[in-house]
Amino acid sequence: MALIDTIRVTPIKAPFAWVASAHAKVSAWNDARITRAALSQLTTRELDDIGLIPGDIDRISRS
């Protein structure tokens, strides 16, 4: 008599995990783009009021 294992469960990675990963990357890029655009419209005086200089805009938008 042969024994057939029909209850074997193998872990399966979510079939669309790459979609979630791509969505997260696009969301992060879009957030950085919006932040950069908003900070770029501020004057030097306004940036100084919040403790930034124009050179900080790229650094802030990347983090």
29-33's contacts with Cβ under 8 Å and 24+ in sequence apart are 32/61, 32/62, 33/61
Is 56 part of a structural domain of the chain? yes
At CA 40, angle to CA 39 and CA 46, rounded to 5? 60
Q: Would you state the pLDDT for residue 8?
A: 65
Is 52 part of a structural domain of the chain? yes
Look at the chain and count its residues. Answer: 63
Is 15 part of a structural domain of the chain? no
Task: Give the residue numbers spanning the domain of 40.
Answer: 27-62
Is 13 part of a structural domain of the chain? no
28-54 residue pLDDT tens: 999 999 999 999 999 999 999 999 999
Nearest to 33 by CA among 1, 57, 2, 9: 57
How many domains, the chain? 1
Specify the pTM.
0.64
Handedness of CA 8, 10, 16, 17 (dihedral sign): positive
Is 3 part of a structural domain of the chain? no
